[in-house]
Chains A and B, each alone.
Chain A
């Protein structure tokens, strides 16, 4: 009986471990510093996590489909730079759709390579990380991009605005999370993404158009990146070429923390959101405790490995790996 309950506890931890960890974190930080759960602070954390979060939503689809996307960081730099540049030449109303079109083209290119040509996603997106960075530098000529008339544009609304007292980035993040969650869990397309990532061969034999599904996950990822780029550009109204550098790995860390398997077929939007929030709140909590920003790197390291380890340990019901 005792073994049974322990097993049950283990299963609960395996399924909801990330939620438990999140709850424990919040309680500990809140006890350490009451300002931590101040509504203004919480809103601030979610707001600053929103850009990372939006990108993580798209990457969740790619990862569940059994692939990786390391290009989102430099793609985000690209869309930020492009929309800022076009803002002054075309005006904001035209710049935004133009930037979305260009970013989606990049996503489609990756989608064709990985989906239809079946090339390894890690290497393709690694190559694209470098290539898109090159494109960004060529577009900007290596210079920082700034909007000329920062006071006289409505462009800042996506990153700085409020609607009904709620910051717009939070609204965008929440809305997108809800929509994509429905897409992933309630539509045929979502089912197919799980099928392709879970067992690609079986999916193909069941008539799932594997190539098209993978292609669409990259389109979706690029779409999310474009939104993130828009939010970033709108928040700062000016940007360096390297604004998204390194974010691809942070995004991946959030997605993995949320329990999506790198082998594909597992993960949910809700858990990715939790993963994003954990990263954001750790950073904030440690800062409030007066620690330097880089302490979060070490803490994140430990948490990622513990999270994934406990997850797979519960699945194989053994703590240590069977590797001889």
Chain B
């Protein structure tokens, strides 16, 4: 574990301070293998079962799929870094909703309306600041009180949802700005705006986790907190930063989604935390911390969305999607343990 004591940045990802299990390559590539498997399965099965004329592997279909996976995907990417750090955030769904309300409501404020379309970037900043602030509160409480992140964010999941309701009662908050809708529906190089945000987030976080001191320390803390403390790493600020990051990303996800839809219900974003965690775990990130990858989470996100779309495509009821995803999650956990003995040790919470 001597590696964890070094503070040098710019280490290649392969040098991440994790002892590599024998089958890491299998595990890392597994999620993408699964994605390919899904593509083949649904393409072939779709020939016989689907009523639709277009093929499953239709380009527009795939582009739409990427766009649709962006809201959960952006949150899941943030969840990855929090989980690598050995924490968890259950409040992302509520953060998502509250940021969305701020985004839409702030555009109706008198001084914002006077600004015309210049209100848009300002509204984005307000929304992103809201998310970051909520993440800051979580991080600060985890840091300063020492209460487990699971409990802290379980509490704030309720609390932030309460704030969502207090903002506008049980009424939906709506504001449609056509400039914003045009922006959200735009396609650049074939990809939708939301997809660009998803890919951009993935790229930035991948760089953060593999190329910066913060990323290395986050892995080190998740892997062995005591060793990290002994190595002189200050645990608290890293917790705080990661919670602020996931709060920011939950808000970013809201910005991407609600720019287009223009109306938010106070119940929006419920269970997003569970979907995000599912995607992260499918991607192979360990709950106990210290191990995980941004790129694999991206695979997990795509895999889930493919499954939802694919099952719909071959005419399965939407009900089966929940069943299949739940069972796949458990199967992945089981396979992972069989393939990876160290994993089983880490998974004992």
Which chain A residues have a beta carbon within 8 Å of chain B's beta carbons? 66-67, 113, 117-124, 126-135, 137-138, 141-142, 200, 245-246, 249, 252-253, 256, 262, 292, 294-302, 304-305, 308-309, 312-313, 316, 320-324
Contact = CB atoms under 8 A, between A and B. Distances in A.
B165 A124 contact: no
A294 B165 contact: yes
A14 to B, nearest CB: 14
B341 interface: no
B65 interface: no
Contacts of A295: 162, 166
Contacts of B236: 323-324
Nearest to B343: A120
A307 B64 CA distance: 46
A129 B145 CA distance: 30
Given A118-B348, A321-B146, A324-B236, 10 more contacts: A120-B333, A126-B278, A131-B327, A133-B322, A134-B319, A294-B165, A296-B162, A298-B159, A308-B147, A309-B147
Question: What 9 pairs across the A-B complex have the smallest Cβ distances?
Answer: A301-B159, A321-B146, A131-B326, A297-B162, A134-B323, A134-B322, A294-B165, A137-B319, A130-B326
Contacts of A141: 319
Contacts of A117: 334, 337
A173 B308 CA distance: 40
A246 B270 CA distance: 9
Nearest to A250: B158
Interface stretch (B11-19, B149-157, B194-202): B149-157
A227 to B, nearest CB: 24
Contact of B326 (A120, A128, A252): A128
A119 B322 contact: no
Interface string B309-320: 000000001111
Interface in B146-188: 146-148, 150-152, 154-163, 165-166, 169
A249 B154 contact: yes
B322 A253 contact: no
B104 interface: no
Contact of A304 (B155, B333, B349): B155
Given A130-B325, A324-B229, A142 B330 contact: no
A135 B239 contact: no
A49 B295 CA distance: 44
Nearest to A321: B146
Interface in B320-349: 320-330, 333-334, 337, 344, 347-349
11 contacts: A117-B334, A126-B278, A134-B321, A134-B326, A137-B319, A253-B158, A305-B147, A305-B156, A308-B151, A323-B143, A323-B239
Interface string B287-324: 10000000000000000000000000000011111111
Interface in B110-146: 141, 143-146
Contacts of B330: 113, 119, 123-124, 127-128, 131
B274 interface: yes
B281 interface: yes
B274 A129 contact: yes
**Which of A118, A128, A137, A245 has the most B CB atoms < 10 Å from its CB?**
A137
B235 interface: yes
Nearest to B160: A301
B234 interface: yes
A269 B277 CA distance: 30
Give the interface size bracket for B toward A.
Answer: 35 or more
B154 A120 contact: no
Most chain B Cβ neighbours within 10 Å, of A127, A298, A300: A127
Nearest to A121: B349
Contact of A129 (B90, B162, B165, B326): B326
A256 B328 CA distance: 29
Contacts of B334: 113, 117, 119
Contact of B154 (A133, A253, A312): A253
Contact of B151 (A134, A262, A313): A262
A312 B146 contact: yes
Contact of A132 (B145, B271, B326, B333): B326
A323 B163 CA distance: 29
A135 B323 contact: yes
| A122, A123, A245, A312 — most chain B CB neighbours (10 Å) | A123
Given A118-B344, A122-B349, A138 B141 contact: no
A323 B349 contact: no
Contacts of A300: 155, 158-159, 162
Contacts of A120: 287, 333, 347-349
Contacts of A309: 145-147
A118 B148 CA distance: 22
Contacts of A123: 277, 281, 287, 329-330, 333
A301 B146 contact: no
Contacts of A256: 151, 154
A297 B165 contact: yes
Contacts of B278: 126-127, 130
Residue picked from B145, B150, B274, B318, most chain A C-beta under 10 Å: B145
Contacts of A135: 323
A256 B324 CA distance: 31
Interface centre among B165, B326, B329, B337 (most CB of A within 10 A): B326
B333 A262 contact: no
B163 A138 contact: no
A295 B169 CA distance: 10
Nearest to B346: A120
B281 A322 contact: no
A118 B287 CA distance: 14
B239 A138 contact: no
Contacts of A200: 348
Nearest to B237: A324
A117 B326 CA distance: 17
Contacts of A292: 165-166, 169
Contact of A305 (B90, B141, B235, B328): B141
